[in-house]
Amino acid sequence: MTAITNPGLDPAPDRAPRRIAFRQRIGRWDVKASPYLYVSPFFILFAIVGLFPLGYTAWVSLHDWDLIGGQGDFVGLDNFANVLGQPNFRTGLRNTFSIFLLSSVPQVFAGLVLAAVLNANLRAKTFWRMGVLLPYVVAPVAVGLIFSKMFADQSGMFNTILGNVGIDPIRWHADVLSSHIAIATMVNFRWTGYTTLILLAAMQAVPSDLYEAAVIDGASRARQFFSVTVPMLRPTIIFVVITSTIGGLQIFDEPRMYDQFGQGGADRQWMTVTMYLYELGWGAQQSFGRAAAVAWILFLIIIAIGLLNFFLTQRISSSGARAGKDKR
């Protein structure tokens, strides 16, 4: 029996593959390359204003660099050794960490509480939320000038209030801890509203189903806050902690404007690392090499503390997730 073949259904004979049109090639390149082109402006700008100054600062820190004379001899790590051996640098490092702890830690807790209050069913929500952010709009120089008068040793507002309740005046500009508390108050006044709005935005993204389930289980408002809200805010809290750490260790405006001289007090009782850097670079010594060394030391400290914060918060987050699985 002979097979009947249909010429229309026969497989096509072997032939050379059809060439892809130039327009199709452009379309494929566009699909592959366009995502990188869209994000490239950020990385180009970051390389110009971020990586290049960082690398150039490292180069300056290895040289005897003068403000007027420019680049001098290569000194290696001598600038770092000189800075680490200076008492003023150690004093500035102590003051920086003290002010950072007195400002950043209460700032996060206060922002969390205020965000929870603003997330409640309040009247005129927009007004209160904008009111919380108003201190952030005020210039740091203005905040420093105003609070330096309020924390005056003899005639300040706070000492007047303390005197009315029978407490002796506090030497806000003379004592180390008192000056740190005053400067931390300035920082908290200006940045707590900013932290509050970030946490508030994260709270509004928490699914309402979780709160409804907690209410059905009989959880109180406080229980809902600690068992539902705080665990859902862990990524945002990590972000806030890291950003506040970076900003707290770089504090400059508030302590510099705390008195009329801008040197951190007669005994450098509130001089920070950035103020010491400014003094080395543009003060009487004018050593750009040592100032760059201070900048790199501060950069490494911020990186180390940021990684430590991230590690600790990740451990807390993972332990909380394990505890939730064990309860199930």
**What are 235's two structure tokens?**
């990524």
As beta bridge partners, residue 63 has 74
Mean pLDDT, contiguous 10-residue spans, the chain (328 residues): 51 55 65 80 88 90 81 85 90 92 90 89 81 86 87 84 84 90 92 91 88 85 85 86 87 88 86 91 80 92 85 67 55
What pLDDT is recorded for position 49? Answer: 87
Identify the burial level of 148 via C-beta atoms within 10 angstroms of its C-beta, where 0-12 means exposed, 13-18 middle and 19 or more buried. buried
Q: Say which amino acid occupies 279.
A: E
Of 277, 251, 276, 256, nearest to 144 (Cα)?
Answer: 256
pLDDT in the model for residue 189: 92
Q: What is the pLDDT of residue 7?
A: 52
In total, the chain counts a number of residues equal to 328
b/e burial code for range 221-246 (CB count within 10 A of at least 16 → b): eeebbebbbebebbebbbbbbbbbbe
Task: Locate the domains of the chain by residue range.
Answer: 22-61, 79-322
So what's the pLDDT on residue 317?
A: 60
Residue ranges of the alpha helices (H) in the chain?
Answer: 22-46, 52-61, 78-84, 87-118, 125-137, 140-150, 157-164, 176-204, 208-216, 221-224, 230-232, 234-249, 253-256, 273-282, 288-327
pLDDT, residue 216, reads: 87
Distance of CA 119 to the CA centre of its chain: 23
Tokens 């918060």: give the residue: 313
- Report yes or no: 173 and 153 within 8 Å, Cβ to Cβ: yes
At residue 6, the pLDDT reads: 53
CA distance 184 to 288: 29
Instruction: Give the pLDDT confidence score for residue 322 in this predicted structure.
Output: 58
Q: Can you identify the CATH homologous superfamily of domain 79-322?
A: MetI-like (1.10.3720.10)
